Structure 1
């Protein structure tokens, strides 16, 4: 905002005009910077057009409505006066209707700017009938607070009572989620009422209103720590391939499931929850392709499904992206900006000047009250498709500045790691496998069922891992490869274990001869500096057993498999 300077004679002098121009220019420049940069100071691609979940501290809602427009009518518009209304930029039809679009709009004000005649939204629901006629709401509304009808089954209750904006009932934010299985993962947020009443086909996931009351709540972010018994367990979830809505199962066994139709996301999440219950991991690593891009027109709804489950079990988790995650509605930057705010998420965008989103590490602290790191987990973005398809067909590779960042980070941490009284361990997770995964000379345990779709160009990350003391790296991407392969170093000594997670999600492919979805576990025994791995299967005769159990690391060093 500019500040007007009144001269004594009411005639602005040249210096005063210059001051006004400078202040105005600075304000506009500041606004542009804030608008186009996220809170990690990264320039967001498609910053103007891309939906980002918003949190409006100090704001309350004063009204909601829905607009609908027809593509065949040039005079039809889904926009309202932007000076008055804020549009939630998610088409209620998710862009899937041939003729219609519809948008939710909200009016909001800062509490200190409310006028005596302003009304504050204190409740929102969706349904065909006036909520005041239902048993749940009967007798609760005062003459000042009555339900007002809005389009598509939306009902809004507003109050002009003094202090309504300070009430715990005041609605401070609203959003949209999609699908019959939509769920909230944000603290203080609740899906309200039935789906919005739209004349949409059954193939379009239904839209749900979700609201927050009161201020933004700070989510819990626990610090992972080795247990008092010296153990720490990591569960890797590879290739969940979650959709907006329940999704469609691909290559699944058995052909009929519990006497009914296989629904991809519910079956995937049931599998994950079963293993969470049985293995009780201390950390979950989501190693990419959590979102099945082409079936997730609202990536946020897909993300909340796995997040809600991990939050329910109070398990810290970290995530990186695969080649499909950002093929839906949100870019990597926008997704990470959302994921960073969720409870129990330890995920990070990483340095802004390094290629990719999600180059970071976390420290697993030693047992007790020690501040020393026992395990360092590195996570790097392997990007998506080759930037030079003519020369290097297929997939992208880890860039030089990522490798330089990794080396500098690892070397910078060595001094503090030496303070740990036992053997410190370094491990890494990526999505797309390294070129060395296709080495035919690997000693491997597990199934190698499909060609390794690693990048053609080898940027040398495997060598950097070995040189900086990483003992194990695990990836996803190739759904039915589920082996761990031992890469040898100088003097033919074991140098690095390279594992696959084994695909977990039913929304992704799983052909090549009857693959059953799997989850990989890594068990760290810090008393012995030992890492043991095994897999759990979703269906079949080994459903309650550990599969391909293998010691990868002993006394802090990669070891060859024991001969039977």
Structure 2
């Protein structure tokens, strides 16, 4: 797998350092390429929850066990790209000066393999003592492979108050396996926020838990700029930590079965737009409606991938009307949950990571292969996100409990 650099709307001269994109008007900047076999392989880790106390549920050595999960998955899958899809750190337990050291522990398996990565932030990454901007800057400037190359794509492309727009909204271009100047696909990353406001000497203040409308506008505008520049829509995937309301509505209507949507389904889905009161009641507010509309209306979007819920790891096709959801129908949008990857946080199922395979030769056919690679090397819940997904029958998922729990 190769990093690709383009001479597009930003001027990058031969041998110059990669510029960090910050403006949504930039359309061409460094990304990745399909591998020489014509495939793009992505391993998605969610809910690592580093930094929890040693007396926690899966302690001691919870972080060390989680590093073992990462190593096992990477040894089995050999991906081209790693996605860290939120809740890297349980920051409510972490002092300001310790956060980047925990990030370094997460990065070690990637550094050893010179693996590029892209992160979104989750509700536990933002706290009174943790700054997602600081963690992002550390990944961008300080994390380098054994060959000295920068590994992180994690950045911020939307201006505004971090407590409103978050700090992991950006895209990564994917180019042809044979031509680093031939754009084939886009990977979109969003910050669903939640958690607490960073103010180490201030009071503990909550942050809204949905993708902000300003980010949605950036997403729509940037997609439009790509269409104008290239004259077509591009196949794409999207990653966001907290799932959209459609997943909860699908679950509550009983639309899922163990053979059409294999996976763990052991908790009620926590969704974007929940607003909790002091009594722990969390009614849905509909605040993620603009984001859901934008996802549904994005031509070529083949799948949306989320974490957050440690006891859910299935995929769904949003192809029917869902109650109290706007839009009501997702026009066949595929949405998947990741497996709980870390030994921090709740849940006793075997840890693992979602694997995603996209073939360059099948772009335009809306086909994505995906499964969960477990810490013991087994595969669970392998499905094909294609036109018949949702009616195709598959084996039931692996419900093994973790031996390390």
2:309 matched residue in structure 1: 478
Higher relative contact order (CA 8 A, sep 6+): 2
Q: Distance in 2 between matches of 1:489 and 1:464?
A: 17
Identify if the C-alpha distance between structure 1 residues 558 and 425 changes in structure 2 by more than 3 Å, giving closer, same or farther. Answer: farther
Per-residue CA deviations over 1:433-486 (Å, capped at 9, x if unaligned) read 111111234443312111111122223212211201222111111111111121
* Kept after mapping to 1: 8 A contact 2:318/2:329: no
1:427 aligns with 2:237: yes
How many residues are paired up?
320
Following TM superposition, by how much is the alpha carbon of 1:353 offset from its aligned partner in structure 2, in angstroms?
A: 2.9
- Give the counterpart of 1:243 among 29, 48, 51: 51
1:506 aligns with 2:343: yes
Q: Distance in 2 between matches of 1:306 and 1:361?
A: 22
Per-residue CA deviations over 1:174-203 (Å, capped at 9, x if unaligned) read xxxxxxxxxxxxxxxxxxxxxxxxxxxxxx
* Kept after mapping to 2: 8 A contact 1:431/1:476: yes
- 3-state DSSP of counterpart to 1:411: helix
- 3-state DSSP of counterpart to 1:326: coil
Q: Distance in 1 between matches of 2:40 and 2:316?
A: 22
* Kept after mapping to 1: 8 A contact 2:22/2:155: no
1:284 aligns with 2:82: yes
2:296 matched residue in structure 1: 466
Structure 1 or 2: larger strand share? 1
- 3-state DSSP of counterpart to 1:383: coil
Q: Distance in 2 between matches of 1:321 and 1:415?
A: 30
Superposed, 1:47-58 pairs within 5 Å as: none
2:118 matched residue in structure 1: 318
Superposed, 1:28-427 pairs within 5 Å as: 223-243=31-51, 248=54, 251-252=57-58, 262-297=60-95, 298-327=98-127, 329-341=129-141, 342-343=143-144, 344-353=151-160, 355-385=165-195, 396-416=209-229, 424-427=234-237
Q: Distance in 2 between matches of 1:304 and 1:493?
A: 39
Per-residue CA deviations over 1:483-514 (Å, capped at 9, x if unaligned) read 1121116898852111111111101111xxx4
Identify if the C-alpha distance between structure 1 residues 492 and 465 changes in structure 2 by more than 3 Å, giving closer, same or farther. Answer: closer
Task: Say which one has the larger Rg.
Answer: 1
Identify if the C-alpha distance between structure 1 residues 403 and 267 changes in structure 2 by more than 3 Å, giving closer, same or farther. Answer: same
Task: Give TM-score, length-normalised by structure 2.
Answer: 0.72
1:497 matched residue in structure 2: 334
Following TM superposition, by how much is the alpha carbon of 1:371 offset from its aligned partner in structure 2, in angstroms?
A: 1.2
Per-residue CA deviations over 1:201-227 (Å, capped at 9, x if unaligned) read xxxxxxxxxxxxxxxxxxxx9841101
Following TM superposition, by how much is the alpha carbon of 1:324 offset from its aligned partner in structure 2, in angstroms?
A: 1.1
Q: Distance in 2 between matches of 1:544 and 1:264?
A: 19
1:544 aligns with 2:377: yes
2:354 matched residue in structure 1: 520
Q: Distance in 1 between matches of 2:295 and 2:319?
A: 13
Q: Distance in 1 between matches of 2:333 and 2:54?
A: 37
Following TM superposition, by how much is the alpha carbon of 1:395 offset from its aligned partner in structure 2, in angstroms?
A: 5.8
Q: Distance in 2 between matches of 1:493 and 1:231?
A: 27
* Kept after mapping to 1: 8 A contact 2:22/2:157: no
Task: Give TM-score, length-normalised by structure 1.
Answer: 0.52
* Kept after mapping to 2: 8 A contact 1:359/1:379: yes
Per-residue CA deviations over 1:207-251 (Å, capped at 9, x if unaligned) read xxxxxxxxxxxxxx984110122101111110111118xx53855
Unaligned runs of 5+ in 1: 1-38, 43-220, 253-260, 388-392
1:457 aligns with 2:285: yes
Instruction: State the Cα RMSD in Å.
Output: 3.0
